[in-house]
Chain A
Amino acid sequence: MSWFGADEEKQEMTNAFVPNLDPAPVENLGNSNMMNIPKDDSALQLINDPATKQAFGLGSAPIPPPRRGLGKAVPKFNKSVGDIQWKTGETWGVLIGGAALGMIAMTVWNRFTK
């Protein structure tokens, strides 16, 4: 069974009874001393073992090398983006689109000037 706590909690129903929320602290009732537990670096060794890193995909994310000079400030774009590929159907799209745009421009010009 699992329970996922909500981010917010409902207001408690006190039914007119307000409990004392700040009682005197009770101390020294512990039955164990949780300090001085033996420590080692076995987790550090195991998690950084090459076999573990490979099995769980724990490779480090490489930091990209900085680009030189002004190139650092300029975002990289694929140089072919925006180029029209004239040997494909894109040609017809450009031609028909251009013609339609021309017709619209001419119509608007005629309407407002004649």
Chain B
Amino acid sequence: MKFGPGTTPEHRFKHVVHLLVQLIEDGLRDEYVRRKAVEIVNRAGIRGHDELGEIRAITKWVQHNVVYRKDPINVEYFQTARRLIKDVEAGRSAADCDDFVIVWASMLGALGYEVAAVIVDSNGDGMLNHVMGAVKTFAPTPQYGNKWIPCELIFTDFDLGQSVKISQVYPLTADANTTRLPIMMQKLAGLGGVGGNSSNGNGYTHPIARMLGAIRRSK
């Protein structure tokens, strides 16, 4: 992804978060992600219909199992929820705040919750510099009512609704009904996508990508 020289960091950050939301939308429909989310809440002993229990279990799993590592300077890494879960399972996860939000929101979305990525200004300088997750229960809860519940994911000791001092928010909800192509199949500034070299390295290419590639080549 390339930005013009005059692009402000804030515009760049907002653009990045749009992609992040698309990765959440892809992740919440991923069967592997849903199975992991179900495994986590089941192992935590959460009963059915305990919405806050499910949210708290997923949040604590992400806070305690995904390892925070900064991105390289001037590089924005994104990881799909599936990839990050596999890395956690292999003991080699390394993720920054946006990756935390992708995996957390994908798992909660896969369990049927409305989720959002919230870009925030966490140091009061007027610049959006951090990403948190936000989730909403369907039934009102005694603690939060019908409110959106922001979640700080990169620190282990933050409970639901807690954050560092925030002065500005820019929330973007994930649309589970989107009909666009999964982001890994899109053409993004030179990255191989549909009809391109979208093989994942083991010789396998998605059938739809193969079909569209054949159509494209025949024209």
Contacts and interface: CB of A to CB of B under 8 A. Distances in A.
Interface of A: 1-10, 34-44, 46-48, 52-53, 56-58, 60-61, 63
A41 B147 CA distance: 12
Contacts of B169: 43, 46-47, 52
Interface in B169-197: 169-173, 183-184, 188-189, 191
Given A1-B1, A58-B171, A48 B148 contact: yes
B201 A43 contact: no
Given A1-B76, A48-B148, A8 B200 contact: yes
B150 A43 contact: yes
Given A4-B183, A10-B201, A47-B118, A42 B167 contact: yes
Given A3-B75, A3-B77, A47-B171, A8 B201 contact: yes
A44 B135 CA distance: 11
Nearest to B118: A47
B163 A56 contact: no
B168 to A, nearest CB: 7
Nearest to B75: A1
A58 B116 contact: yes
B166 interface: yes
A4 B191 contact: yes
B166 A38 contact: no
Contacts of B155: 34, 37
A92 to B, nearest CB: 37
Nearest to B154: A34
B162 interface: yes
Interface string B75-89: 111111011001000
A2 B1 contact: yes
A1 B82 contact: no
A2 B17 CA distance: 12
Contacts of B116: 58
A63 B136 CA distance: 13
Given A2-B1, A4-B188, A10-B201, A37 B164 contact: yes
Contacts of A38: 164-165
A63 B114 CA distance: 13
Nearest to A61: B114
Nearest to B2: A1
Given A1-B2, A2-B77, A47-B118, 17 more contacts: A2-B16, A2-B78, A4-B78, A4-B183, A4-B188, A4-B191, A5-B79, A5-B80, A7-B82, A9-B83, A43-B161, A43-B166, A43-B169, A44-B150, A47-B134, A47-B150, A47-B171
